[in-house]
Structure 1
Amino acid sequence: MIPLLTKPYEASTAIAPFRIVAFSDAASGAKVAQATLATQPLVGTTGKVPTAAGEMADITRVGIGGVQLGGTVIAGDRLTSDANGCAIKATIAGQHIIGTAEAPGVAGDIIDYLRAGGVHSGN
Structure 2
Amino acid sequence: MAMTEFRSYKAEAAVEGYRIVKPGSADYTAVKSTGPTDFNIGTSDSLDKSTGEMVDCAVGDIHEVRLGGTVVRGASLTSDANGKAVSTTTVGHRCIGYAEQSGVVDDVITYIRAPHVL
Q: Shift of residue 3 of structure 1? A: 2.6
Gaps in structure 1 of 5+ consecutive residues: none
Count, aligned residues:
118
Larger relative strand fraction: 1
SS in 2 for 1:42: coil
What percent of counterpart residues are identical? 38
**1:57 counterpart residue number:** 55
Aligned ranges 1:95-106 → 2 under 5 Å: 95-106=93-104
Whole-angstrom distance in 2 between the partners of 1:87 and 1:60: 14
Q: Which amino acid aligns with 2:16?
A: A
**2:105 counterpart residue number:** 107
Divergent runs of 4+, >3 A: none
**1:36 counterpart residue number:** 34
**2:90 counterpart residue number:** 92
Whole-angstrom distance in 2 between the partners of 1:46 and 1:35: 11
Q: Which amino acid aligns with 2:64?
A: G
**1:11 counterpart residue number:** 11
Whole-angstrom distance in 2 between the partners of 1:98 and 1:110: 15
TM-score, normalising length: structure 1: 0.92
Q: Shift of residue 30 of structure 1? A: 1.1
Q: Which amino acid aligns with 2:34?
A: T
Whole-angstrom distance in 1 between the partners of 2:109 and 2:87: 13
Q: Shift of residue 29 of structure 1? A: 3.0
SS in 2 for 1:4: coil
